[in-house]
Amino acid sequence: MIPIIIDCDPGIDDTAALILATAAAPELKLLGVTTVFGNVPVERTTLNALKVMELCGSGHVPVAKGCARPVLRPARNAQFIHGATGLGRVDLPEPKAHPVAQHGVDFLIETIRGAPAPITLVAVGPLTNVALAIVKEPEVMRQLERIVIMGGTLRGLGNMPNTSSFNVYADPHATEIVLRSGLPLVICTIDATHMVRSTPRQLKLLREVGNRHAGVLADLFEEHAFEGTPEQLAADTPVGGCMHDPCCIAYLLAPDIFGGRMVNVQVDTSSELSMGRTVIDWWGHSDNPPNAFVINRADPEAFFDLLRGKVALLGNF
């Protein structure tokens, strides 16, 4: 049983991460969800997190609203991908639950401080909450088992105009704080998540699971599904609704689906041209010590097999 907290900005693929995490009980024990600005403003990511928790029969899981803006830069969003609400065209019922009174950063700190066993923090949005928790209570954050992060690029093929990845670009300074924290980090790069595409074939198989959760997932990703021609796939064209965030959850459940290595990772916060680009010393050319296990590849078939198997366990309520 792995105790986890998910820090997120739902978000289409964040929703997939939340559904997979709840479906994976009791292997994973979701202790709480903290929200951050990102794909949509934080009021909306919080509402969406509450809605998704209730969809999964996990309305009792505390949801704590976190930061509304990055440490230094103006807030950006990704509504052009995730839609105005953050959930594409999917309309989930209004939740009965409310966010807890505690701020997301304090919820992180107090939950980690009070936990009987080290927690794995899964951070799949901009890293603002995580960085502020590190700044506020570095000793408490040392109690973490590890932080599993979605973001960054190894080869510079990100999804932002300057080729960085959204989560890092959205708060590069927070990312720098996390990278320099000395905490055990796992970074699932976009190089890996771009391999995990929700193609029409995969969405058809997912829909065939037959329950409500599988249907919601298929609906969420359908708009962005793209099979890709053999040439595009061979050229590694990053098209199609990628299952970015649930890769972090799948990594906890079946790490063999992914490949990577311990390397040094830094982030550019000084040049507007490459703001938020990760610099990953894959070949060990520098003397900088490794600070993260960087995931650069994934097996999409194995990922979708795992996703379908777990989502089926949610039954039909």
Catalytic residues: 244
Q: Which is nearer to ligand BDR, 53 or 124 (CB)?
A: 124
Closest residue to ligand BDR, Cβ-based? 166
Q: Is 296 a residue that touches ligand BDR (CB under 6 A)?
A: no
Q: Does 39 bind ligand BDR (CB under 6 A)?
A: yes
Contacting ligand BDR (CB under 6 A), which of 165, 181, 264, 291? 165
Does position 245 bind ligand BDR by CB under 6 A? yes
The alpha-carbon radius of gyration of the chain (Å, integer) is 18
The total of other beta-carbon atoms located within 10 Å of residue 8's CB is 32
Closest CA to 221 of 50, 81, 125, 52: 81
With respect to ligand BDR, which residue has the nearer C-beta, 137 or 244?
Answer: 244
Which of these ranges, 25-33, 164-172, 199-207, 211-219, lies near ligand BDR under the rule CB under 6 A? 164-172
81 vs 233, which CB is nearer to ligand BDR?
81
- Report the nearest approach of ligand BDR to the CB of residue 125 (Å): 6
| Cα(256)–Cα(2) distance, integer angstroms | 17
Contact call for residues 52 and 15 (beta carbons, < 8 A): yes
190 is an interface residue for ligand BDR by CB under 6 A: yes
Interface residues with Ca ion (CB under 5 A) are 9, 11, 14, 124-125, 245
- Position among 4, 5, 6, 14 found at the interface with ligand BDR (CB under 6 A): 14
Instruction: Give whichever of 102 and 237 is closer to ligand BDR, judged by the CB atom.
Output: 237
Residue 78 binds: one of Ca ion, ligand BDR, none (C-beta under 5 to 8 A by kind): ligand BDR
Phi first, then psi, for residue 166 (nearest 5°) are -55, -50
Residues that bind ligand BDR (CB under 6 A): 11, 13-14, 39, 78, 81, 124-125, 150, 159, 165-167, 190, 244-245
